[in-house]
Amino acid sequence: MQIRQRKLKDDTSAPHINVRSRNIKHPRKLKKFFIFLIVLALCITYFLGLFANQSQWLDGIAKSLGYESVYHHAVIIDAGSSGSRVLAYKFRVPFTVFGPGNLDLVDEYFEQSKPGLSSYADDPAKGADTIVQLIKKAEFLTPPEKRKTTPLIVRATAGLRLLPADKAQQLIDHVARAIAELGYDVGSDGVQIMDGSDEGIFIWYTINLLHNLIGGSTMAALDLGGGSTQITYQLSNSETANFPKKDQFVVPAGDNITLYTHSYLKLGLLAARFGVFQSEALKDETQEFRSVCVDPIIQREQWTYANKNYFVSGAFRVHGSKRSAVYAACHAVVRRSVMAAVDWEPKKAPLGSVAAMSYFYDVAADAGIIDVMTGGQVSVSAYRKAALEACSTPNVDQPWACIDLVYIVTLLQDVYKISDDEPIYLFKKVNGHEVSWALGLAYTTIMNRIVITP
C-alpha cells in the first residue's frame, strides 16, 4: 500500500478584486440585516463546532437508537527478523454528523512464533507454513462470509532485507502461493519486503492512533527491531529544509502533514550487537568473538545470528577496574561501530513527546527500569545508570545486558541527540492493544478502500 502523496501547493493564482465604495441610502435596514447574518453565522459555527467535538457522544446516541455499525476486518503478518506475528483487527465505522469519518478499533488478536521467516532461507516451504499456521490461529476474528473482502497483508522487515536477494525472493514466492489458498483478499502486492520508511510511518500512525492524537499534537515514534531501527516524527513547514527530501513524506492525518522518517539498516539491536562483536574481532571471518562489553565470566557463550552460530567471550579486565572505566571502554567500542554505520544523523532531538517501542521496551524491562507489564517513563540517564550496573556485575543469565544497554544509550544520545533527562515513554500495549506498525498499516489500508459518508 502506498501512503506517499504529492504535497499540495497553496493556490495563489486567485485574481485580486477591487471593491469600490458606495453611498448607502438605507443604513438602518441594512445594519439590522447584517446583524442577523452575523448572529446566524455565529450559531452555525457554534453548532458545527459542538457536534464536531462530540463524535463519541453522538455515536452513543445513534447506537442507542438502533444505528447498525459497519465493520471492517484486516489481517496483517509482521515477518520480523526475530519472529513472525499475526495481528488480526476488527474496526467499526462510528456514526458521524460533521467532520471526516474514521474507524474505531474494537477487537484484535495477536499471536507470534519464532524464529523469524528469514531463518527459513534454506527451506522456504517450511517458512511459508509457519505464516499459514499463524493466519489460521486468527481466523475466528473474521467471519467466513467477510474473508474474501478482508485484506491479508504480509510484510517482511529487516530480516529479509539482510538476506541475499534470491533467498528473500524464494521466501516471498512460497508465502504468496501458500496464503492465496486461504480465502482472503490478497492483492498482487500482498507479500512484500517492507521499506524501512513505511515501517517508521506505520508505527507512528499506530502510537498516535492509540493515543487519539491524529490531527493534533503528535508523538515522535522510535522503533527498535532486531535488524533495523526507525525514527519518525511530524515536521512543521519551517523545519523541512533541515531534513533530506527522501526522508519526508506527506501523509493523511486529519489534514495532510509532513513526516520525517529514517530507517537505519544494520542498527537493529541484534544487528548492532553483531557489528560491535565483529569490529573487535582480530580477523573478518571468524566464529569466535571476544568483547570488552561482555563480562569475563562469560566464556564461549553460544549465540546465533543470521542463521550462523558464534561463540562469544568476555575480554580480560584489570582486577578492580572502576565501574565507570568498564562502561567507558564498552561505550567507545560501541560508538565507533555505530557511527560507522550511520548514513544520516539529525542535528537535534525529535520534536514533541517521544514514544519508544520494541527492544527499547524489552531491554528496559529486563534491566528493571520499567515494569514489564505496564511500561513507563525512562530517560537516557536511566539507561546509562542501568548500563553502568550491568557492565560491572557478572550475570550469566543476561550475558548481553551490558552491550545492549550501552548500545541503546549510544543510539539515543549520539545518533538521535536526545538529552539525558528528556522523558521517553515506553509502550508495549495501549488500552490493551499491541503497539505494532501492523495497526497503522491495517487502518490506512481500510481507510483507503472505503468512503465514509456523514
Cα 96 from chain centroid (whole Å): 29
* C-alpha torsion sign, points 173, 116, 76, 102: negative
Place of cell 503497539: 435
Q: From residue 439, give the alpha-carbon distance in Å to each of 86, 235, 251, 252.
A: 11, 22, 16, 15
What does the domain layout of the chain look like in residue ranges? 68-194+436-454, 269-422
Q: What is the pLDDT of residues 374-405, one digit of tens each?
A: 999 999 999 999 999 999 999 999 999 999 99
Q: Would you say residue 57 has pLDDT above 60?
A: no
Distances from the Cα of 38 to the Cα of 19, 24, 48, 52, 340, angstroms: 21, 19, 15, 21, 64
| Packed helices 380-391 and 359-366: angle between N→C axes, nearest 10 degrees | 50
Q: Is the pLDDT of residue 60 over 60?
A: no
State yes or no: is 434 an active-site residue. Answer: no
Query: According to the annotation, is 229 in a ligand binding site?
Result: yes
Residue with cell 513526516: 259
Residue 26 has pLDDT above 60, yes or no: no
Choose the catalytic residue: 108, 139, 181, 199: 199
- Run of H or E including 79: strand 70-79
Q: Report the alpha-carbon angle 191-192-198, nearest 5.
A: 125
Find out whether 49 is annotated in a ligand binding site. Answer: no
248 is in an annotated binding site: no
pTM attached to this predicted model:
0.80
Helix (H, G, I), strand (E, B) or coil at 327: helix
Domain 68-194+436-454 has CATH 3.30.70.270: no
- Above 90 in pLDDT, residue 113? yes
Known binding residue 84? Answer is no
* 53-67, 79-93, 154-168: range with lowest mean pLDDT: 53-67
- Binding residue per annotation — 228? yes
| pLDDT for residue 101 | 58
